[in-house]
Structure 1
Amino acid sequence: MTQQPERPLVGGEAETPGATGRLGAPTLAEDLLLLLFQPNSGLRSGTGTIAGENTLFYTLAGAVLADLGLGEHVRTDSGRAGTTRVRAVEDNPPSDDILRLTWDYVSEKPRGVQTVLAAIGPTLRGPLLDRLVERGDIRRASRKTLGLFDTKVLQDGGNGRRSRLLEDVRDVLVEGAEPRPRVAALAALLSGSGTLPQFHREIPWTTPVITRAKELERGSWGAGAAAEAVARTVTATIVSNVGNVVIAATVPPGN
Structure 2
Amino acid sequence: MRDDMLLVEDLTMLLLDDETGTPSAAGTLPYTLGGAVLVELALLGRVTSDGKAALNGPKVFTDGDGPLPDPVLQDAYDKVAERTRRVQPLLLDIGAGLLNTMVDRLVERGQIRREKKKVLGLFPATRLPAVDTGHEAELRRKIRAVLEEGAEPDSARTAALIALLSASGALPSLRPPINWSGTVYKRAKALEEGNWGAEAVSTVVARTAAGIAASTAAVTVAVTVATTN
- TM-score normalized by structure 1? 0.80
| Aligned 1:95-114 pairs, distance under 5 A | 95-114=69-88
Change (3 A) 1:208 1:112: same
In the other structure, the counterpart of 2:158 is: 183
Q: CA deviation at 1:114?
A: 1.2
**8 Å Cα contact 2:34-2:94 kept in structure 1:** yes
Offset of 1:93 from its aligned partner?
A: 4.5
Shift in CA distance, 35/253, structure 1 to aligned 2, threshold 3 Å: closer
Partner of 2:180: 205
Does residue 59 of structure 1 match 2:38? no
Which of these residues, 106, 121, 130, is aligned with residue 147 of structure 1?
121
Find the residue that maps to 1:147 and give its secondary structure.
coil
Larger Rg computed on CA atoms? 1
Distance 1:116 1:181 in 2: 22
- Count how many residue pairs are aligned between Structure 1 and Structure 2: 225
- Structure 1 Cα separation of the partners of residues 51 and 182 of structure 2: 33
Q: Secondary structure, in 3 states, of the residue corresponding to 2:214?
A: helix
SS in 2 for 1:119: helix
For 1:163, give the aligned amino acid: A
Gaps of 5+ in 2: none
Using a 3 Å threshold, how does the CA distance of structure 1 residues 248 and 204 change in structure 2: closer, same or farther? same
Distance change >3 Å, CA 175–CA 80, structure 1 → 2: closer
Unaligned runs of 5+ in 1: 1-23, 43-47
After superposition, the Cα gap between the structure-2 partners of 1:126 and 1:176, relative to the gap in structure 1 and judged at 3 Å, is same
Mapped to 1, the partners of 2:181 and 2:146 lie a distance apart of 14
Higher strand share: 1
Give the structure 1 partner of residue 10 of structure 2. Answer: 31
Q: Does 1:164 align with 2:143?
A: no
In structure 2, distance between residues paired with 1:226 and 1:80: 18
Render the CA deviation track for 1:156-188: whole Å, top value 9, x for unaligned.
Answer: 224322222111111111112221111100000
TM superposition score normalised by structure 2 = 0.89
**Distance in 2, Cα, partners of 1:104 & 1:189:** 22
Q: Tell me the alpha carbon deviations over residues 42-85 of structure 1, each in whole angstroms, 9 at most, x when there is no partner.
A: 3xxxxx42111111100000000000011111001157956411
What amino acid does structure 1 have at the position aligned with 2:24?
A
Identity of aligned residues (%): 43
Q: In 2 relative to 1, CA 144–235 (structure 1 residues): closer, same or farther, beyond 3 Å?
A: same
AA aligned to 1:181 is A
* Match for residue 169 of structure 2 among 194, 200, 215: 194
In the alignment, the residues of structure 1 paired with residue 228 and residue 146 of structure 2 have an alpha-carbon distance, to the nearest angstrom, of: 37
Residues 73, 92 of structure 1: 8 Å contact kept: no
CA contact (8 A) 2:194 2:214 kept: no
Quote the RMSD (CA, aligned, Å): 2.3
Q: Distance in 2 between matches of 1:231 and 1:81?
A: 20
- What residue number does 1:218 align with? 193
In the alignment, is the contact (CA less than 8 A) between 1:136 and 1:159 conserved in 2?
Answer: no
